[in-house]
Amino acid sequence: MKNFVEELKWRGLIHDITPSTEEFLLNNSSSGYIGFDPTADSLHIGNLVQIMTLVHFQKCGHKPIILIGGATGMIGDPSGKSKERKFLDEKKLIDNQNKIRSQFEKFLDFSGNNSASVVNNKTWFENFNLLEFLRNVGKHISVNYMMAKDSVKNRLETGISFTEFTYQLIQGYDFYWLWKNKDVKIQFGGSDQWGNILTGNELIRRLEGGESYALTTPLITKSDGGKFGKTEDGNVWLDENKTSPYKFYQFWINVSDEDAKVFIKIFTQKSNNEIKKLIVNHDKEPHLRIIQNALAEEITEIVHDKEKLNIAKSTSSVLFGKFLKEDFDNLEEKVMESLSTAVPCVTIKRDNLLNDFKTILTESTNFEIFKSKSELVRMIKNNGLSINKDKINNEDYIISDNLKFNKYLLLQKGKKNYTFIIVE
């Protein structure tokens, strides 16, 4: 058995761990789980740490289990509205669950003898009534114990609802159920989950005198103090319809040097030696950003695929590389299309192309690109306007003569302020 705990340790992925976990996992092929909230139809990169935990777990010869919180998800968000909510929710939850499962399939092996699997706690909570729950579960955990948890303590001042207070029991029971029925011995989670996980361990001990383990990962932070995983456009999702492969790739490319050295351990499966080598090479020629490239490539390829990675890379080189007009003329249509997911787009009706240059770029595009003709003229005077990678120095450019694939135009204000124009 490969040493799972050791693997996580050098990657900086352990925040808290119960005693003798390492020893247990070295001697037993075991099952472990993490709970995920099905409230969104996609995972985002904030979930990636947890996913990677399971990836390493499986690679070390254990069985990863993904718990989709169909039941807990319903409790978690009581802010519904209409009467039919329950039905809608159920459909939506199943839909979300399927989408999330297919995202896990990219990371984990769902076949073989330590195959990954997905469970939903709705299965065991559906027919579990309140009285039964109180008798069989609530009885064993004291309020004193529950109150001692940081997650609860921190909320006592500001207020905590009974529902949220109970959450640790529900989650604890999940662990117990999986322990009992699926031979799950360990639960993983973010550091904020420590308390909830321990409630599960406690429940297992009290109900059956059983042994179980817990391991949490640290909260990922950025060196500049900002939140990891957020961009101006919000979350970075794994679903390509919510975050395009290009934007996903770019997120990793733009990580700072300092963060990249930490992230490459956390988010890739590269070995310690490979990573050490990358860091040495990176520090020799930091401008090449070797680590960021390695990081972006590996993760983008797993989450999307090789082809989409390549398109994202080509798109990036169009937007940021030393890219000349000639190169632009030879671009594949696929890459051109991908530009529409990379930069803000503006559509324009084909008959508007009859207007003069300045009118097209202001009025005909609802002043989205240039707020006024003066601004446009100023931009040209400052040598700041390019179309299709070609600097524009005069105002009698004919747009309709320069469309790519008869409908696309890449407009550039300055170096990195792009607008993609689609004629329809």
Partner RNA sequence: GGGGGGAUACCAAAGCGGUCAAAUGGGGCAGACUGUAAAUCUGUUGACUUAUGUCUUCGCAGGUUCGAAUCCUGCUCCCCCCA
| Residue range at the interface with RNA (CB under 7 A); choices 30-38, 135-143, 163-171, 284-292 | 284-292
| Residues facing residue 215 across a β-bridge | 17, 188
The H-or-E segment that residue 292 falls in is helix 290-303
Nearest residue to 105 (alpha-carbon basis) of 97, 116, 113: 116
**Among residues 154, 372, 400, 402, which is the contact residue for RNA, using CB under 7 A?**
372
CB of 249 to RNA, least distance (A): 8
Whole-angstrom Cα distance, residue 50 to residue 259?
A: 18
Q: Is 375 in the site for RNA (CB under 7 A)?
A: yes
Neighbouring residues of 149: CB distance < 8 A, sequence distance ≥ 6: 168, 195, 196, 199
Binding mask 304-343 for RNA (x = CB under 7 A): ------------x---x-----------------------
| Smallest separation (angstroms) from RNA to the CB of 167 | 41
- Distance set, CA 306 to CA 56, 149, 309, 343 (Å): 22, 45, 5, 21
The answer to whether 384 contacts RNA (rule: CB under 7 A) is: yes
Q: Is 374 in the site for RNA (CB under 7 A)?
A: yes
Interface with RNA: number of residues (CB under 7 A): 29
Compare residues 212 and 244 and give the one whose CB is closer to RNA: 244
* Binding track over 348-367 against RNA, x by CB under 7 A: ----------x---x-----
Residue 398 and residue 120: Cα distance in Å, rounded? 59
Q: What's the N-to-C CA distance of the chain in angstroms?
A: 59
Task: Return the H-helix or E-strand segment holding 64.
Answer: strand 63-68
* 254 makes contact with RNA (CB under 7 A): yes
Minimum CB separation of residue 377 from RNA in Å reads 3
344 lies in the site for RNA, by CB under 7 A: no
DSSP string, 173-242: HHHHHHHHHH-EEEEEEEGGGHHHHHHHHHHHHHHH----EEEEEPPPB-TTSPBTTEETTEE-BSSTTT
CB 387 within 8 A of CB 311: no
What does the block give as tokens for 197?
């996980």
How far apart CA 215 and CA 30 sit, in angstroms, is 14
Is 382 a residue that touches RNA (CB under 7 A)? Answer: yes
Count CB neighbours of 359 within 10 A. Answer: 13
Mark the segment that binds RNA (CB under 7 A) among 68-76, 129-137, 247-255, 328-336: 247-255
Measuring CA to CA, which residue among 314, 309, 343 is closest to residue 330?
314
**Residue 278 interacts with RNA (CB under 7 A): yes or no:** no
Residue whose CB is less far from RNA, 169 or 290: 290
Q: Is 373 in the site for RNA (CB under 7 A)?
A: yes
Running DSSP on this structure, what letter comes out for residue 263? Answer: H
Interface pick for RNA out of 44, 389, 407, 413 (rule CB under 7 A): 413
Binding RNA (rule: CB under 7 A), the pick from 253, 295, 392, 423 is: 253
> Judged by CB, which is closer to RNA: 63, or 247?
247
Beta carbon of residue 348, minimum distance to RNA (angstroms, whole number): 18
Residue 210 engages RNA in binding (rule: CB under 7 A): no
Among 305, 378, 400, 402, binds RNA (CB under 7 A): 378
Q: Binding to RNA by residue 221, rule CB under 7 A? A: no
Which range touches RNA (CB under 7 A), out of 160-168, 251-259, 301-309, 333-341? 251-259
By CB under 7 A, name the binding residues for RNA: 250, 253-254, 256-257, 286-287, 289, 292, 316, 320, 358, 362, 371-375, 377-379, 382-384, 413-417
